[in-house]
Amino acid sequence: MQARTARIGTRGSPLALAQAHEVRQRLSLAHGLPESSLEIVVIKTTGDRIQDRPLAEAGGKGLFTKEIEEALLRGDIDLAVHSMKDMPTVLPEGLAITAILPREDVRDAFISLTWPSLAAMPSGARIGTSSLRRAAQVRRLRPDLEIVGFRGNVETRLAKLAEGVADATYLACAGLRRLGKADRITHAVDPEDMLPAVAQGAIGIEIRANDKASADLAARIDDAPSARVVETERAFLARLEGSCRTPIAALATLAGPDIVLKGEILTPSGSISLRAERKGPVSDRIALAIDAADELKSKGGSGFFSV
């Protein structure tokens, strides 16, 4: 791997490119390689092409990863960089996530040119979002507000806000920070008020499972604490069989030798919200995640997501 250029596959959005450049920089420093030996390859995904309707209607999770994973399997690239919240819980056969970078701010950012917070908005004001999770959480907190569709990358959504398409929107604090746009955050939302998406703020590196050279390359930039909490949240999501079509939120945090997981499922209308919490040894994290998910499945019943 070090004798030739390693190819890093990524989407072409400004945020995806910022994440790919962060991976390249970390790999360069960890291995003493010139950045020129780590080529960034931009791949356009189905999710990038679809701009006229919510992703949940177009197929949900996987729309931002399919073409990149196909390039990985063909050998066109050696590593793929993903926002972990975009990743399906089941990977294509032959691929594996082998590294998670240090996790950024997990919180949602409330952004408005007028109002300081969701609570301050007047009845009938418009919240722009394409996220079923955020829409359901807003409806739970403020059923008197209007939800309007809001697709596009960070820059597009900020532009729509400036154009008055909505009075406020939500973006991930992590993405804004990585783009140098933290100053656009009106209010960073406490996770107790809005649990984030599973793996929000985490960047993952995917490789071919049998590619030892790429595995060795990625291993040095894996952040074990971040990997453990992301693994826990994804196990919770997988047990619920969740996707972009279902409002699901979760956050795992480390507390000394223990891990704390908070999970939530909501009806799309936001009228019902169910939460579960588990705390136990980090070594039991997957069992704790499964147990929390089973509690919510039991409470919600088989028709929960169709309410």
- Judged by DSSP in three states, 20 sits in helix
Going through 112-208 in order, the beta strands assigned E by DSSP cover: 126-128, 146-148, 168-172, 187-188, 203-208
Q: What is the pLDDT of residue 306?
A: 62
CA distance 143 to 131: 16
CATH number of 236-301: 3.30.160.40
Exposed e or buried b per residue across 277-296, where buried means at least 16 C-beta atoms within 10 angstroms of its C-beta: ebeeebeebeebbbbbbebb
Measured in degrees and rounded to the nearest 5, phi and psi for residue 260 equal: -115, 125
Q: Catalytic positions, please?
A: 86
- Residue pair 154/182 in contact by the 8 Å Cβ criterion: no
| CATH fold match for the domains 108-188 and 236-301 | no
CB 209 within 8 A of CB 95: yes
Per-residue confidence (pLDDT) for residue 3, from 0 to 100: 47
Burial state string for 112-136 with b = 16 or more CB within 10 A and e = fewer than 16: beebeebeebeeebbbbbbbbbbbb
> What pLDDT does residue 245 have?
72
**How confident is the model at residue 2, as a pLDDT?**
44
Q: What is the DSSP string of 173-194?
A: HHHHHHTT-GGG-SEEPPTTTS
The total of other beta-carbon atoms located within 10 Å of residue 243's CB is: 17
CA distance linking residue 58 with residue 207, whole number of Å: 26
Fold of 6-100+202-222: D-Maltodextrin-Binding Protein; domain 2 (3.40.190)
Q: For tokens 């409330």, what's the residue?
A: 110
Domain boundaries, given as residue ranges, for the chain = 6-100+202-222, 108-188, 236-301
Pair type for strands 38-42 and 6-10 = parallel
Which pTM value belongs to this model? 0.91
Euclidean distance between CA atoms 294 and 273, whole angstroms: 15
User: Measured between alpha carbons, how far is residue 290 from residues 82, 287, 293 in Å?
Assistant: 24, 5, 5
pLDDT in tens, the chain (307 residues): 444 579 999 999 999 999 999 999 999 999 999 999 999 999 987 766 555 555 555 455 567 788 999 999 999 999 999 999 989 999 999 999 999 999 999 999 999 999 999 999 999 999 999 899 999 999 999 999 999 998 788 999 999 999 999 999 999 999 999 999 999 999 999 999 999 999 999 999 999 999 999 999 999 999 999 999 999 999 999 999 865 578 999 999 999 999 999 999 999 999 999 999 999 999 999 999 999 999 999 998 877 766 5
CATH class of 108-188: alpha beta
**How many of the other CB atoms lie within 10 Å of CB of 302?**
7
The pLDDT value given to residue 99: 98
Distance of CA 284 to the CA centre of its chain: 23
pLDDT of residue 304: 76
